[in-house]
Structure 1
Amino acid sequence: MNNNKGFNWFIPIIILVMVLFLVPGFLGDSNTKNIGENDFYKLVQSGKVGEVMVYRDTPKAEIFLNKAAKAEQKSAAKKDENPLSMLAMKPGPDYTLTYGDLRYFQERFNQINSEAPADKKATMEFGTSKSPFSELLFTALFWIAIMALFYFFLFRKMGGGGGPGGQIFSIGKSRAKLFDDKEKINVTFKDVAGLEGAKEEVQEVVDFLKNSEKYTKLGGKIPKGVLLVGPPGTGKTLLAKAVAGEAKVPFFSLSGSDFVEMFVGVGASRVRDLFAQAKAKSPAIIFIDEIDAIGRARGGKNFSGGNDERENTLNQLLTEMDGFGTDTNVIIMAATNRADILDKALLRAGRFDRSIYVDLPELHERRQIFDVHLQKIKLDPEVDRDFLAKQTPGFSGADIANLCNEAALIAARNSHEVVTKQDFLDAVDRIIGGLEKKNKAIKPSEKKRIAFHEAGHATVSWLTEHAAPLLKVTIVPRGRSLGAAWYLPEERQITTTEQMLDEMCSLLGGRAAEQVALGDYSTGAQNDLERAYKQANAMVTIYGLSEKVGHVSYYDSSGQNDYAFSKPYSEKTAEIIDDEIQRFVQSQYERAIQILTDNQDKLTALANKLLEKEVIFREDLEEIFGKRAWDPELTEKPVSNAEVLPATATDATNVEQQNETPQAEPKLEH
């Protein structure tokens, strides 16, 4: 089995170092020469000897020249110097001498040394010679310690603890995690709720790897790449895990950022190594999560200049994907939520043949997702899963998982034996609106303004046909908002002009209520105004719903054109667009003013009820306004206070409110 560790160069390096430093002849200065007694006395007399080391237990002495003589000697014979002498543990003697009688040798040295110049006299030291074995052992231990530290700090630390691709000599190896017979994934398609269309596509890929003859006998070819595209949290990575659990073939999993490294050429090297491993184990699957990390479009937007390592990695990936043979049986799966920025060469047929869009779950898919996540929760039998699915439009699979977990935590915090429906209500309030702040001090005048603001939203949305039906209004501070209104947006694929105008009018109902009831308005409608502008801007520049601008769209769905420094229209058209946006917003604001003026008594009654109860539900609005004539489905089956599950929150009176209803903003239809 290929363990992907590569050849370990550290062991031969250790052996080479041990040979260099432990073999006799490399320990000290190899330039040491033997010298006779007469030549030694001449050196002493000329003042060139600095120190003489005499060993009592052996008739040998080591002569060390002084600095001046050593410098003169090195300049004269520099080309013959052994470069390994610089690596010696300590400087070796310049000469060695074998003497006869120690007493005579000492007397003769003292006599001649007295004749040397006063500033160049030599000194004589006495000692005992060291054992060659002990010196060898000390040197070996020293260098072993040095190499151990070198190995730990450079090899281990640099590679993040070692392992495949962790050592510096295998830094170009792929960091993909291999799942095969020894390391399996227990996730299967049964664990993936919803995503019927996406599962059908990837199941066919798995079936091709298992039963390739079924397709090849008819002349079909294996798809080389499958790209999973969709918003965050919709289950792209979970779907890939299910493929790994179902395929029963080697599955290589890694992230797009695993190719990125500070060293030049590493990304391309890892791509080559990854595909080499996959080909060796074919049939196999390679899954690259967040492929936009290396698959971003080349050229045009690269202002860094010079060589781009990411582009080199992408080029290598393109080459490897297009170089497969029909009998290789290696499939590339990738996931991203930024498909618009991917390079066109990566998306062409022959590389990523299939692009599977993993969208937000529909009603029946959310019901299936709830079934999966509620299996591990001790649930109250009265909790209706169909009701939860209906009240969570726009929720992704990750959002639903978070909702179930948050409900369980709230139930445990309240010491409940089971997770009740009210726990789910509180969980949604916590997720959408933020943590409730009952102790936040608010002036009575500000509280009154907040009540009229929220009552204005509720009134306008109740009295306009296409606005989202209201579920709950509160003036209790949550998170960064001082109040909020929850609606249940209709799940629709397209939106008409009347529907968008009614939603815009509902957004502006808060500020209009402040003007009608209090005579002025505050900064609390900042989020409402922002969302209304985005809606009007989308109507004019994206959806072509303005008669003056015409049936044109300036939106670039491909993401390839950059309008940061230029606009796709003239200055004259820009003025018309500004006028149309202003007309849409102003007309709906005046419409909201008219609606609230005609129903000012009901607006005041609703605001007073909000001040009294702080939280009101749909039934409270029915008591004041009556049932909505154009909404018979909701009026025939009213929802009690305990059953209300707020799905989306609208801005209250806070400049930094961030809880926006996904359906309230313009949503591009593809």
Structure 2
Amino acid sequence: MTKVKKDNKNKLPKAYNPNWLYLLFFAFIVLVFYINPVVKTKEISWLEFEQDMLSQNDVEKIVVVNKETAEIYIKKERLLLKKYEGVAKDTILSATSPQYYLKLGSIEGFENKLEKAQDNFAPQEKVEIIYENRTNWIETFSWILPFLLILFFWIIILRRMKPGSLGSSMFNFGKSTAKIANIDTKSKVTFNDVAGLKEAKIEIMEILDFLKNPKEYTRLGAKIPTGVLLVGPPGTGKTLLARAVAGEAQVPFFSLSGSEFVEMFVGVGASRVRDLFKQAKEKAPSIIFIDEIDAVGRSRDKANNFQSNDERENTLNQLLAELDGFGTNTGVIVLAATNRADILDKALLRAGRFDRHIYLELPTREERVEIFQVHLKPLKLEKSVDVNLLASLTPGFSGADIANICNEAALIAARKKKESVGQDDFNQARDRIVGGLERKSKIISPKEKNIVAHHEAGHAVASWYLKNVDSLVKVSIIPRGKSLGAAWYLPEERQIITKSQFLDQICAALGGRAAEDIIFNEISSGALDDLEKVTKQAYNMVAYFGLDEEVGPISFYDSTGEYGRLLSKPYSESMGKLIDTEVLNLITTQYQRAKNILTKHKDELEELAQLLLKNEVANKEDLEQILGKRKATELLQSED
């Protein structure tokens, strides 16, 4: 077996660690201010100097420093005397350093006193006086030190704010924070990992093909699209599709979030936009991906902006100029994603900036099958798992929701110590995600449990005999999340809803309250959620969809968001009263309809409620045993 020699050339150099410089800096401060100097000089008074030193002819010379301090040097032979014994030991550099010093009030007074004290001295015995001007570096450093400390801590803050070298963190506020993915460091996600979204993938792949083979398009005079906007509800795969583009593209890919343009400093956002497009143009052809572009591309309407000079608006203006301004922007495609396209600025959405708008909707049943197949690959499954059934049980689920169900099912199976994930685990995962966590430990009084059982049985019986209500799967009175019970339906995928379907749904939702009224001659607060949904549906029918005969084919729906900024409603008071009246009549009529159905099938209602009190759950087989087979062609219509 041959040994592979390690290539030291490919090793990255060790990162420079400046911590030892910080330690050295603080050590210097400690040495200067807290450690006593090696040379010790003792301060004395004039009287002590005159009587003990000057009169005894012990002084060799006097050095006056900056006309403030007099340094006194003792003769070498006199230092051997007993009175100088302590000074001689403490002073290591006694030959070159003064032994004492004297503070001077004024230089003239000191000279006069010194002259009077030496009146009786012989000329050769008088002490020599030397005048010197010195710079005290310690005092100078003491007032510079606070500024150095402020600069020092400011540099540390800047390093914390942005990783990188010391110099780059100080001056790179306006630099782009985009992460670049080159060919060598591209994303591992490809279009094979993106299930569904066939039309969106075709649009994106065409743009990638343009970047790879531009001559096939430019020979006919076509121009490369400037921008592509991905719009759709949360979890539909906008960011995943962008990752696939990064993995498939053979060009540099810049990715960042819209919030990274907005900073606490004025002008930073616009500067980062300029730097981002500058880098992209240098590496053209390239792709820029801006996730959640609504953070910076919000509409500049004055009604939404109370600031005269908003940093977000400046950033947006710079982004508009870079996308399609006076300068050329060839070879750079901007890919953006948002779930709030309604609040984006109109100038950002026009052709020439974002030429293509790709709408990603919630997946259909066939697309959910593909998404399940992708997320089920890493799981150990039982043979009983039916992917088609899972797709049927999850209408309205996004790709992220399906991924969550698969992961939750695996966690439930692992909690049960199972070797593989079964169909029942997926059903429990769906129930947990939709309804919340089961709370069997929640204490409910027998009276309340009886009310809940009849309430849920009312929903089940009313919906069973209504033609346009979704198929009922099971009924449960086990507390789950915030609810005390639930009726589980298998919704059909509809693109439009007719008036009769609306009415049947409202009637079924009022079945729980109607059952309480019939059985107990009293109603409770348990129907709050049902009443909220029913009221919204009724107002939608009357005010938005034009399904009411009295109000007529009029819609006050606001797709542009302009009504929301008005203080008044877009209709008169008389129209508002008419809408309220029709909504109330619609709800009361369907409530009476639900009571008629439950009164006719009161025995079945009681039987189902008792089954729920006994087992807490009634499956579809139990419902068919009590209520019979549900046939859409033979449903009762006489209760209308």
Structure 1 length normalisation: TM-score?
A: 0.75
Say which of 171, 180, 198 aligns to 2:173. Answer: 171
Q: What are the Cα deviations for residues 400-435 of structure 1, in whole angstroms up to 9, with x where unaligned?
A: 000000001111110000011111111112111211
Q: Distance in 2 between matches of 1:144 and 1:397?
A: 56
Q: What are the Cα deviations for residues 263-321 of structure 1, in whole angstroms up to 9, with x where unaligned?
A: 11111111111111111110000100000001111023335332111111111111110
**Post-superposition offset of 1:164:** 11
Q: Contact 2:281 / 2:329 at 8 angstroms: preserved in 1?
A: no
Residues 1:165 and 1:332: Cα distance change in structure 2 (over 3 Å) = farther
Say which of 479, 490, 493 aligns to 2:492. Answer: 490
Q: What are the Cα deviations for residues 174-223 of structure 1, in whole angstroms up to 9, with x where unaligned?
A: 11111112421111100000111111111111111111111111111111
Say which of 602, 605, 622 aligns to 1:603. Answer: 605
Q: Which amino acid is the alignment partner of residue 304 of structure 1?
A: F
Residues 1:514 and 1:169: Cα distance change in structure 2 (over 3 Å) = same
Q: Which amino acid is the alignment partner of residue 267 of structure 1?
A: G
Residue 417 (1) aligns with residue 419 (2): yes
**Post-superposition offset of 1:148:** 8.4
Residues 1:319 and 1:145: Cα distance change in structure 2 (over 3 Å) = closer
Residue 156 (1) aligns with residue 174 (2): no
Residues 1:455 and 1:65: Cα distance change in structure 2 (over 3 Å) = farther
Q: What are the Cα deviations for residues 44-77 of structure 1, in whole angstroms up to 9, with x where unaligned?
A: 9xxx9653245664599999775xx7xxxxxxxx
Q: Contact 1:234 / 1:398 at 8 angstroms: preserved in 2?
A: yes
The answer for the alignment partner of 1:376 in structure 2 is: 378
Q: Distance in 1 between matches of 2:403 and 2:135?
A: 73
Q: Distance in 1 between matches of 2:323 and 2:112?
A: 86
Residues 1:588 and 1:165: Cα distance change in structure 2 (over 3 Å) = farther
Q: Please give the root-mean-square deviation of Cα atoms over the aligned residues, in Å.
A: 3.4
Q: Which moved more, 1:576-585 or 1:146-155?
A: 146-155
Q: What are the Cα deviations for residues 435-457 of structure 1, in whole angstroms up to 9, with x where unaligned?
A: 11112211111100000000011
Residue 51 (1) aligns with residue 85 (2): no
Matches within 5 A, 1:435-446: 435-446=437-448
SS at match of 1:253: strand
Q: Contact 1:165 / 1:175 at 8 angstroms: preserved in 2?
A: no
Q: Distance in 1 between matches of 2:383 and 2:166?
A: 50
The answer for the alignment partner of 2:79 in structure 1 is: none
Say which of 521, 535, 545 aligns to 2:547. Answer: 545
Q: Which amino acid is the alignment partner of residue 588 of structure 1?
A: Q
Matches within 5 A, 1:230-379: 230-323=232-325, 328-379=330-381
Q: Distance in 2 between matches of 1:165 and 1:192?
A: 42
Q: Contact 1:460 / 1:509 at 8 angstroms: preserved in 2?
A: yes
The answer for the alignment partner of 2:231 in structure 1 is: 229
The answer for the alignment partner of 1:429 in structure 2 is: 431
Q: Contact 1:54 / 1:62 at 8 angstroms: preserved in 2?
A: yes
Q: Distance in 2 between matches of 1:149 and 1:317?
A: 36
Q: Contact 2:273 / 2:318 at 8 angstroms: preserved in 1?
A: yes
Q: Contact 2:210 / 2:217 at 8 angstroms: preserved in 1?
A: yes
Q: Distance in 1 between matches of 2:336 and 2:426?
A: 35
Q: What are the Cα deviations for residues 514-555 of structure 1, in whole angstroms up to 9, with x where unaligned?
A: 001111110010000000001001111111111111112111
Q: Distance in 2 between matches of 1:606 and 1:113?
A: 124
Residues 1:406 and 1:130: Cα distance change in structure 2 (over 3 Å) = farther
Matches within 5 A, 1:535-574: 535-574=537-576
Say which of 385, 394, 397 aligns to 2:396. Answer: 394
**Post-superposition offset of 1:162:** 3.4
Q: Distance in 2 between matches of 1:502 and 1:559?
A: 31
Q: Which amino acid is the alignment partner of residue 412 of structure 1?
A: A
Q: Which moved more, 1:453-462 or 1:317-326?
A: 317-326
Q: What are the Cα deviations for residues 338-365 of structure 1, in whole angstroms up to 9, with x where unaligned?
A: 0000011100011111110000001111
Q: Which amino acid is the alignment partner of residue 207 of structure 1?
A: D
Q: Contact 2:322 / 2:329 at 8 angstroms: preserved in 1?
A: no
Q: Which amino acid is the alignment partner of residue 160 of structure 2?
A: K
Q: Distance in 1 between matches of 2:104 and 2:574?
A: 93
Q: Contact 2:303 / 2:565 at 8 angstroms: preserved in 1?
A: no
SS at match of 1:239: helix
**Which runs of 5 or more residues in structure 1 are unaligned?**
1-9, 15-43, 70-94, 96-105, 116-125, 633-670
Q: Contact 1:318 / 1:351 at 8 angstroms: preserved in 2?
A: yes
Q: Distance in 2 between matches of 1:280 and 1:336?
A: 27
Q: Contact 2:413 / 2:425 at 8 angstroms: preserved in 1?
A: yes
The answer for the alignment partner of 2:208 in structure 1 is: 206
SS at match of 1:605: helix
Q: Percent identity?
A: 56
Q: Contact 1:189 / 1:246 at 8 angstroms: preserved in 2?
A: yes
**Which runs of 5 or more residues in structure 2 are unaligned?**
1-17, 23-61, 74-93, 120-129, 635-640
Say which of 382, 385, 407 aligns to 1:405. Answer: 407
Q: Distance in 2 between matches of 1:409 and 1:543?
A: 43
Matches within 5 A, 1:635-646: none
Say which of 180, 184, 187 aligns to 2:186. Answer: 184
Q: Contact 1:452 / 1:510 at 8 angstroms: preserved in 2?
A: yes
Say which of 588, 591, 597 aligns to 2:590. Answer: 588
Q: What are the Cα deviations for residues 222-242 of structure 1, in whole angstroms up to 9, with x where unaligned?
A: 110100000000100000000
The answer for the alignment partner of 1:118 in structure 2 is: none
**Post-superposition offset of 1:377:** 0.7
Residues 1:114 and 1:404: Cα distance change in structure 2 (over 3 Å) = farther
**Post-superposition offset of 1:559:** 2.5
Query: Size of the alignment, in residue pairs?
Result: 537
Q: Contact 2:289 / 2:335 at 8 angstroms: preserved in 1?
A: yes
Q: Distance in 1 between matches of 2:117 and 2:429?
A: 98
Q: Which amino acid is the alignment partner of residue 475 of structure 1?
A: I
Q: Contact 2:155 / 2:170 at 8 angstroms: preserved in 1?
A: no
Residues 1:108 and 1:243: Cα distance change in structure 2 (over 3 Å) = same
Q: Distance in 1 between matches of 2:165 and 2:494?
A: 51
Q: Which has the higher contact order (CA 8 A, sep 6+)?
A: 1
Q: Contact 1:165 / 1:173 at 8 angstroms: preserved in 2?
A: no
Q: Distance in 1 between matches of 2:500 and 2:116?
A: 118
Q: Distance in 2 between matches of 1:586 and 1:488?
A: 27
Q: Distance in 1 between matches of 2:573 and 2:424?
A: 55
Q: Distance in 2 between matches of 1:338 and 1:302?
A: 15
SS at match of 2:301: coil
**Post-superposition offset of 1:155:** 2.3
Q: Contact 1:452 / 1:604 at 8 angstroms: preserved in 2?
A: yes
Q: Contact 1:257 / 1:294 at 8 angstroms: preserved in 2?
A: yes
Q: Contact 1:155 / 1:162 at 8 angstroms: preserved in 2?
A: no
Q: Contact 2:69 / 2:102 at 8 angstroms: preserved in 1?
A: yes
Q: Contact 2:227 / 2:354 at 8 angstroms: preserved in 1?
A: yes
Q: Which moved more, 1:594-603 or 1:326-335?
A: 326-335
Q: Which amino acid is the alignment partner of residue 289 of structure 1?
A: D
Residues 1:381 and 1:289: Cα distance change in structure 2 (over 3 Å) = same
Q: Contact 1:549 / 1:577 at 8 angstroms: preserved in 2?
A: yes
Q: Distance in 2 between matches of 1:528 and 1:289?
A: 37
Q: Which amino acid is the alignment partner of residue 362 of structure 1?
A: T
Largest Rg, 1 or 2: 2
Q: Contact 1:295 / 1:342 at 8 angstroms: preserved in 2?
A: yes
Matches within 5 A, 1:621-660: 621-630=623-632
Q: What are the Cα deviations for residues 608-632 of structure 1, in whole angstroms up to 9, with x where unaligned?
A: 1111111001111111221122179
**Post-superposition offset of 1:561:** 4.2
